[in-house]
């Protein structure tokens, strides 16, 4: 019985790390102020506009700065071109918060960051997935990149544990 309880505590702790990492990504991509003004970021398009239906990715091309266009939307700023492949892969039916979380988790797994998140190795997890999210340090997309210390603070504030 004690082994089962220990396994449950471990599973809950690792799931808490994943939730905290997703919250950290949202803070990084959207920012705390816009997260508060929206549906926790799930209905945000690049540039801060909000969309009003989760039936599908909004599929709106937004000019977010002169000469720069994007279709990024949702809590993790998923590009339109990636939505349909993930929708099919994961058997999703919409762009709901649950679907957005499922896609982000799949992306973390594909980037080999998921295991590091479970273990509480946030710095290594960020290194593994920075090519996906332009706001992460070292992403190299020419956009604003957040400081590692700010991301670590957001992760810890969301209840994540470190290795």
Q: Check which CATH number belongs to the domain holding 25 and give it.
A: 1.10.530.10
pLDDT, residue 33, reads 94
Please report whether residue 149 resides in a domain. Answer: yes
Range of the domain at 147: 2-157
Please report whether residue 51 resides in a domain. Answer: yes
Which ranges of the chain have pLDDT less than 50? 1-13
pLDDT, residue 30, reads 96
Contact 134, 143 (CB under 8 A): yes
Instruction: Quote the number of domains for the chain.
Output: 1
pTM: 0.90
Please report whether residue 133 resides in a domain. Answer: yes
User: What token pair was written down for 149?
Assistant: 């210390």
Please report whether residue 87 resides in a domain. Answer: yes
Q: What is 14-64 written as a DSSP string?
A: HHHHHHHHHHHHHHHHH-HHHHHHTTTTTTBBGGG-B----SS-----EEE
The one catalytic residue in 29, 80, 110, 123 is 29
* CB environment 99-134: b (16+ within 10 A), e (fewer): bbbbbbbebbeebebbebbbebbbebbbbbbbebbb
CA distance 147 to 137: 6
Please report whether residue 162 resides in a domain. Answer: no
pLDDT, residue 78, reads 98
Q: Is 29 a catalytic residue?
A: yes
CA distance 136 to 128: 10
């Amino acid at each position: 019985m004690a082994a089962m309880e220990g396994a449950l505590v471990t599973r809950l702790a690792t799931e808490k790390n994943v939730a905290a990492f997703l919250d950290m990504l949202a803070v990084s991509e959207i920012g705390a102020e816009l997260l508060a003004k929206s549906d926790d970021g799930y209905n945000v398009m690049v540039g801060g506009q909000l969309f009003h239906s989760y039936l599908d990715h909004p599929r709106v091309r937004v000019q977010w700065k002169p000469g720069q266009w994007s279709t990024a939307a949702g809590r993790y700023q998923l590009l339109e071109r990636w939505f349909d492949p993930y929708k099919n892969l994961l058997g999703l039916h919409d762009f709901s918060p649950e679907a957005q979380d499922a896609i982000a988790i799949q992306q973390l797994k594909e980037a080999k960051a998921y295991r590091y998140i479970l273990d509480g190795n946030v710095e290594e997890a960020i290194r593994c997935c920075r090519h996906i999210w332009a706001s992460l340090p070292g992403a190299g997309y020419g956009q604003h990149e957040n400081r590692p210390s700010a991301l670590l603070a957001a992760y810890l504030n969301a209840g994540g544990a470190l290795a």
